[in-house]
Amino acid sequence: MDPIIKFEHKFFTLFLGMFFALSEQTQQPALFLKMGEIEAALPLPGIRQEFMIGDDSADGRMLQMISEALGYVHGLRAGDPLPKEIFSTAASRSPSERHVVIAYQRLTMQLATWLGR
């Protein structure tokens, strides 16, 4: 499967600026788009049902991967790469040197406390 978000169904090309994110109200994956002055959040299961997108179709698999990916990123758009976490256990990014130092210091302190008992 291609790690870039793309769709075959024409619906996904109709609205500029649409993106996928978790709904603040339901915490479920949704497609956010603007139709004129109206901003809409369409739940992914509703899109699948309305456009008869099968789970085993390319678009169905892509929607499933987007649902999983939203557990790792705040939002996704068509053309974005999917995060590495949904394909393997590799992280999308490495910790900064500052965070590595903080983790080392915390572990050292915990080890010293444990040994001092």
Question: Considering the domain boundaries, does residue 116 fall inside one?
Answer: no
Question: Considering the domain boundaries, does residue 113 fall inside one?
Answer: no
Question: Considering the domain boundaries, does residue 63 fall inside one?
Answer: yes
pLDDT tens digits, one per residue of 65-85: 999 999 999 999 999 999 988
Q: How far apart are CA 40 and CA 35, in angstroms?
A: 7
3-class secondary-structure state, position 5 = coil
Q: How many domains does the chain have?
A: 1
Question: Considering the domain boundaries, does residue 47 fall inside one?
Answer: yes
- Tokens 């509703």 -> residue: 46
Question: Considering the domain boundaries, does residue 103 fall inside one?
Answer: no
Q: How far apart are CA 76 and CA 95, in angstroms?
A: 22
β-strands 19-22, 29-35: how paired?
antiparallel
- Candidates 73, 74, 70, 44; CA nearest to 59 is 44
Question: Considering the domain boundaries, does residue 2 fall inside one?
Answer: no
- Give the per-residue pLDDT at 36: 85
4 vs 91, more confident: 4
- Give the per-residue pLDDT at 86: 85
Domain span including residue 73: 10-91
Question: Considering the domain boundaries, does residue 79 fall inside one?
Answer: yes
Q: How many residues does the chain have?
A: 117
Which amino acid is residue 107, in one-letter code?
L
| 35 within 8 A of 23, measured Cβ to Cβ | no
Residue 1 has pLDDT above 60, yes or no: no
Predicted structure pTM score: 0.73
| 54 within 8 A of 44, measured Cβ to Cβ | no
Question: Considering the domain boundaries, does residue 106 fall inside one?
Answer: no
Q: Residue 87 has which token pair?
A: 């394909």
